[in-house]
């Protein structure tokens, strides 16, 4: 047995797929080869909220998750720039709020690109969403697909971090 392996398997990661209208999240406990979904879902601010109210809703929800599950780390998707600058700005705002909530809760923050996540779970950076979701279900032993897709993506981000943690040098 590797010293510290049991402690590493008990480490809790909060994975987040950032968004201002739908923000997927997943709480995963584990180490490489040992994964357990503790809880997961999607933060969906009420219709008609102002942008500031949406950000406060996301912040409050993530703060509550941090208090409830005591994760040590946040794994979040890096911003992927596409042609729609407006949507990128809104997602960047949500990422800022998410990272603030994590920082206030004392979590270490790690970022992964969509290609990193696909490669970690499927072996290729060009996997489609269904392939990633199927691997999430396999890693976590889930009988049905996490829904919506943002939730499955958040779980994939948490699993990616747990896999990557095994490759990080010991402190």
Instruction: Please state, in angstroms and rounded to a whole number, the distance separating the CA atoms of residues 126 and 80.
Output: 15
**Contact assessment for residue 131 and residue 122, using Cβ atoms and an 8 Å cutoff:** yes
Q: Name the packing angle between helices 129-140 and 149-167 (round to 10°).
A: 70
24 DSSP β-pair partners: 17, 42
Active site residue ranges: 17, 77, 150
Quick count: other Cβ atoms within 10 Å of Cβ 7? Answer: 9
Choose among 83, 81, 82, 102: nearest CA to 23: 102
Tokens of 72: 């040590």
Instruction: Please state, in angstroms and rounded to a whole number, the distance separating the CA atoms of residues 41 and 103.
Output: 21
Instruction: Please state, in angstroms and rounded to a whole number, the distance separating the CA atoms of residues 167 and 161.
Output: 10
Tokens of 55: 């950000």
């Amino acid at each position: 047995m590797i010293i510290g392996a049991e402690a590493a398997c008990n480490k809790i990661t909060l994975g987040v797929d950032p968004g201002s209208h739908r923000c997927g999240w997943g709480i995963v406990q584990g180490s490489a080869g040992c994964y357990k979904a503790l809880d997961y879902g999607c933060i969906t601010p009420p219709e008609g909220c102002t942008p500031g109210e949406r950000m406060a809703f996301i912040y409050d929800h993530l703060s509550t998750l941090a208090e409830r599950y005591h994760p040590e780390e946040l794994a979040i998707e890096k911003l992927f720039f596409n042609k729609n600058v407006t949507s990128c700005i809104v997602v960047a705002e949500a990422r800022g709020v998410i990272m603030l909530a994590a920082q206030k809760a004392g979590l270490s923050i790690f970022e992964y690109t969509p290609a990193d996540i696909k490669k970690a779970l499927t072996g290729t950076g060009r996997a489609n969403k269904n392939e990633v979701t199927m691997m999430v279900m396999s890693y976590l032993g889930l009988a049905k697909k996490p829904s919506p897709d943002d939730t499955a993506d958040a779980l994939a981000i948490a699993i990616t971090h747990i896999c990557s943690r095994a490759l990080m040098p010991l402190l």
